[in-house]
A and B are shown apart, each in its own frame.
Chain A
Amino acid sequence: MSGLKDAGHLFRFAGLFVLAFLVFLVVRAYVVPKSFGEYGHYRGAAIGEIAAHPVKFAGRQTCETCHTDIADIKAKGAHAHVNCEACHGALAAHADDPMSVTPVKPDSAVLCARCHTASAAKPASFPQVDPAEHSGGAPCVTCHNPHSPIIGSDFTANAAKGGAK
């Protein structure tokens, strides 16, 4: 028994550890959200909260219900695979109330350069230019129809009318 008595201080130190561990467990139970780990390493309730956010994108099909003329041009052009809202931005508000929410026309000199500025990382087959050298700062829609951008296609004549109506 005297051995235990002589090691008493070690039990006190061990007791501190146990106490610290218990405090950790209590704090953990308090601060970790209840739904944490429900589906994975995140707060399960976050899914419902995110789903409750208002929808911002209308989707291509919604745009094409009204803008049939543009959809026809685009379907035959090089941008057929590009979604409307990739260039025009999220427009669910416009789709819900087309009369009072009118989208702003994108600045083609900035927008087109985002994808078509020359870069060694892009495939050689992808159309790319040095914008300053190529157009001298003029908006791309001066010559290109953004919905069917290859010059010489049937729709180039519409170039000036360019964006969403």
Chain B
Amino acid sequence: MSGVEGYMYPNEVTLYWSVLIVLYPFITGLVAGAFILASLERVFRVEAVKPTYRLALLTALAFLLVAPLPLILHLGHPFRSPEMYFTPHSTSAMAMFGYVYMWYLMAVLVFEIWLDYRREIVLWSQQSKGLMRTIYKIMALGSSNIGERSLHIDDKVGWIVTLIGIPSAFLLHGYVGFIFGSLKANPWWSSPLMPVVFIFSAMVSGIAAVMLLYMAVTKLRKQAIDMRCVDTIAMYMFYIFIIDFSLEMLDLVHRVYEADESFRTLNFMVHTKLYFSQIVLQIFVGTLVPLILLFITQMVKLPEIARKRIYVLSGSLILISVFAMRWNVVIGGQLFSKSFIGYTTYKMALVTREGLLVAIGLTILPLFFLWALVKLLPPWPDKDLHEAAAGD
């Protein structure tokens, strides 16, 4: 049989979870990571990262809006997807996730963004014209109270929402790891460390994505990049990446030392079919290289231009590494037979519903959403806004 080596059970020959299922945890990871970066400023009062606070929230929202699309495209029957909400099966982790998603989207992200932008929304609703004025008026929910006390209440409530948002972000992404880690039938996935590894890699990827977006957007706006902000983000990215890498290595050491009946098969797979994506891309190029680069920036006082280049290179490599990690988990877990004497091959299609072009489209789509969100809710201070019309 083409693509099959050794013996595969009949239901193992074809991979059912395609590149779209790789994309899904990658996108939700970016959401969780971007939110954690935003919470650094809001809850942990890391003032240096303030220039990225709003951009991080909008990035999280843009990617969260796209997050269910890979799943819907994979499953087909999009009109059936609301049934997950109408008739949820309480014993299915996947079904329950619909509520986690909705909670995170509406009660955390949308609410926090609304609270943070409310002053500007009210002012824009008074000072802009035409369609935008109507949109801002709707967004202001008919309230134009932006008095000091009112904004103080917003700030307090926003802080509480962020505080609730942190465990929600962990729940959102920890769940994705849980879905894989709880599958006891698959030794490549079944590990209690899986949710933790997913959360930390999500944090690293989200922070890297927001850092890159901030640098790109600032460059496009022909503004100076706040190096204190980028240096602080890079420092947090470095520390969290060390924890993430240590956890992944802990998982690896545990598997090697335990060496259960699946070990020979998985070890062979890592050295053959997953060699490029795991050893080369994920571990060497995507993890060790950025870790060494970021380590240099922490140890040596480099000129600004060198630091910028290192941050862009490290951030891009980290995104590739985290994507490769998702690939190795999702695709790797389907490449070997439960008989432990056979392997199959994943051949990615190009233009099918679950093909490469759709995957590329879904990766770019959040950037369009982000562009629209940035147009609607600019994350930088609006110099034209004046307080003349403030208050009731």
Chain A contact residues, CB within 8 Å of chain B = 2-3, 5-10, 12-13, 16-17, 20, 24, 27-28, 31-32, 36-37, 41, 120-121
Which among B15-23, B146-154, B212-220, B222-230 touches the partner chain? Answer: B146-154
Expressed in whole angstroms, the minimum distance between the Cβ of B174 and any Cβ of chain A is: 25
Which of A6, A7, A16, A120 contacts B141 (CB under 8 A)?
A16
Contacts of B107 in A (CB 8 A): 17
Other-chain contact of A8, B82, B86, B111, B145 (Cβ < 8 Å): B145
Contacts of B142-174 to chain A: CB distance below 8 A: 142-143, 145, 147, 149-150, 153, 157
Write out the residue numbers on chain A whose beta carbons fall within 8 Å of the beta carbon of B111. Answer: 13
Q: Which residue of B lies closest to A121 (CB)?
A: B9
With contact pairs A16-B141, A121-B7 given, residues A9 and B150 touching in the complex (Cβ less than 8 Å): yes
CA distance A32 to B86 in the complex (A): 7
CA distance A19 to B92 in the complex (A): 28
Question: Digit string of B324-359 for contact with A (CB within 8 Å is 1, else 0)?
Answer: 000000000000000101000000000000000000
17 contacts between A and B (CB under 8 A): A3-B149, A5-B145, A6-B145, A6-B150, A7-B150, A8-B143, A9-B118, A9-B150, A10-B157, A12-B141, A20-B106, A31-B86, A32-B86, A41-B89, A120-B339, A120-B341, A121-B7
Give every chain B residue within 8 A of A24 (Cβ-Cβ): 85
B272 contacts the other chain (Cβ, under 8 Å)? Answer: no
The 0/1 profile, CB within 8 Å of A marked 1, for residues 81-112 of chain B is 01001110100000000000000001100010
Q: Which residues in A have their C-beta under 8 angstroms from that of B147?
A: 6
Main secondary structure of the interface of B (DSSP, over half): loop
Contacts A5-B145, A31-B82 known; list 19 others, CB within 8 Å: A6-B145, A6-B147, A6-B149, A6-B150, A9-B140, A9-B143, A9-B145, A10-B157, A12-B142, A13-B111, A13-B114, A13-B141, A17-B107, A20-B106, A28-B86, A32-B86, A32-B87, A37-B87, A121-B339
The complex places the Cα of A31 from the Cα of B118 at a distance, in Å, of 36
Q: How far is the CA of A143 from the CA of B182 in the complex (A)?
A: 52
Q: Which residue of A lies closest to B85 (CB)?
A: A24
Q: For the complex formed, measure the closest distance between the CB of B178 and the CB atoms of chain A, giving whole angstroms.
A: 22
CA–CA, A10 and B114, complex, Å: 10
Q: Which residues of A are found within 8 Å of B339, using beta-carbon distances?
A: 120-121
Interface of A is mostly: helix
* Complex interface: chain A residues within 8 A of B82 (CB): 31
Which 5 residue pairs across A and B have the least CB separation, nearest first? A9-B143, A12-B141, A6-B150, A6-B149, A120-B7
**Alpha-carbon distance between A31 and B147 when the two chains are bound, in angstroms:** 44
CB A88 to nearest CB in B, in angstroms, measures 24
Contact residues in A for B157 (Cβ distance below 8 Å)? 10
Min CB–CB distance B135 → chain A (angstroms): 16
Cβ-closest chain A residue relative to B88: A41
A136 CB → nearest B CB, Å:
22
Residues of B within 8 A of A8 (CB): 143, 145
| Cβ contact within 8 Å between A12 and B87 | no
A41 and B157 CA atoms in complex are apart in Å by 39
Residues of B within 8 A of A17 (CB): 106-107
Chain B residues near A121 (CB-CB < 8 A): 7, 9, 339
Closest chain A residue to B150, Cβ basis: A6
B143: chain A residues at CB < 8 Å are: 8-9, 12
Bitwise interface map of B from 3 to 45 toward A, beta carbon under 8 Å scored 1, else 0: 0000101000000000000000000000000000000000000
Contact status B153-A10, CB under 8 Å: yes
Decide: A2 and B118 in contact? CB cutoff 8 A: no
State A37–B88 Cα separation when bound (angstroms).
11
CA distance A37 to B89 in the complex (A): 11
Residue of A5, A8, A9, A36 contacting most chain B CB atoms (<10 Å): A9
Which residues of chain A are within 8 angstroms of B141 by Cβ–Cβ distance?
A: 9, 12-13, 16
